[in-house]
Amino acid sequence: MHVWRDAIANATLLYATLSFAAAVAAPGTWSQGPQLPTARSEVAVTALGNRIYVIGGYASGNVDQSLVQTFDVSTGKWNNVAPLPRGLNHVGAATFDGRIYTFGGFDEQNRGAVTDANAYDPRTDRWTPIAPLPRGLGSISVAVLDGRIHLVGGRDQHSVTTHLVYDPSTNVYATAAPLPIGRDHMGLVAFGERLYAIGGRIDNPGHNTSYVDIYDPSNSRWSQGSPMPSRRSGMAVAVYANRIFAIGGEYNGGIFTNNEAYDPRTNSWSTFAPLPEGRHGTGAVAIDHRLYIPAGAPVNGGSRQSATLDIFTL
C-alpha cells in the first residue's frame, strides 16, 4: 500500500515539476503599462506610428460605445480623440497610408450587424464615411496587403465566408476567393506576400476552430497551414518577431491565457509565456520590439471589462 501511495506521490511530484519547468522555459516576459482611462472590451485595436488606437466596444455598462482612445508609446500617456460616428462593438479596423479604416460592427451586444465604414485622419482628428459594406457584418477580420484592405469572414446572423477587398484609392469593394470555412472572431494578418486567417468560431464559442488558412493573391487561392494547438476565438493576433502570435481568447465557460505563435517559414507553432490573466475581445499591435494588448474582457461574455495594458517582450 505504501509503495502504491509513494508511486502516486512521486508521479504527482514529477508532473508538477515538469509543468513548472515547462512554464519557466516558455520564452518571453510580460509587464503592464499605464491603464486605460476606461475599462473596455470587444474593441478594435490598431496602430498608427507610435500610437495605439482602441476603438468602440463595450464600456461603462453600454455595448455601443463610440469612444476612441489612443496610447502614445513615446510619452506613455492616454488621450481621447474624435469618437466614431456612432457607437459600435466588434468593429474591424486597419491602418493604411496614414489613416485608420473601420468596417462593420454590431450596434447591439454581439448582434445587429451594420454596413458602416469610415476613415479617420489624425491630422484633422475627423472621421469621414467611405463606401458602406455591401452587407451588414460584425466581427470582420481585416488586414492590409499590397495596398488594399482585405475583409474576411465575420457574421450577420451566422458566420460567413465573405472575402472583400477594399481599394482606398477608388473607394470600391471587390470580391476575392471566399474563406474555405466561414467564421468570425478570427485573427487575420499579412505576413510576407500572403494573408493568414487564424482560428475563430463558427457561430458561437462552442464551435471554436484551430484552422490556419493561407491566402495567396497571386493565384487567388486558399491553402491550409498547420492548425493552432488550441481551438480559440476572440484572440489578439499580430505579427511580432517574425511570427504570428495568437494570444488569449474565449470558449464556452472560460477564457484563455494561451500565447502561441505560428512561424510561416516552418509551418509550425511554438508556445510562449502565457498571459498573466486571461483576455478576449481585444487586439494586439507591435511597436518598437514590444507587443501591446490593451483592455479586453477577463471573463467570457461581456459582463466585465478590463483597463489593463499588457506588454509582451521577447
Q: Answer yes or no: is pLDDT of 314 > 80.
A: yes
Distance CA 81, CA 18 (A): 48
Q: Are 107 and 137 in contact (CB under 8 A)?
A: no
Strands of 26-115 (E only): list them: 29-32, 40-41, 44-48, 51-55, 58-59, 68-72, 77-80, 92-96, 99-103, 106-108, 111-113
Which amino acid is residue 238, in one-letter code? A
pTM, to two decimals: 0.92
Residue 170, pLDDT above cutoff 60: yes
For 16-35, how does the pLDDT look when each residue is reduced to its tens digit (9 = 90+)? Answer: 333 344 445 799 999 999 99
Backbone angles phi, psi at 63, to 5 degrees: -105, 0
Written as nine digits, the cell of 304 is 466585465
For residues 194-209, average pLDDT:
97
Express as a percent the part of the chain with pLDDT over 90: 92
Instruction: With beta carbons less than 8 A apart as the criterion, state whether 115 and 103 touch.
Output: no
100-60-206-291 Cα dihedral, nearest 10 degrees = 50
Q: What's the rounded mean pLDDT across residues 139-168?
A: 98
Closest of 141, 121, 138 to residue 129, by C-alpha: 121
| Domain 29-313, architecture per CATH | 6 Propeller (2.120)
C-alpha torsion 23→29→35→39, nearest 10: -40
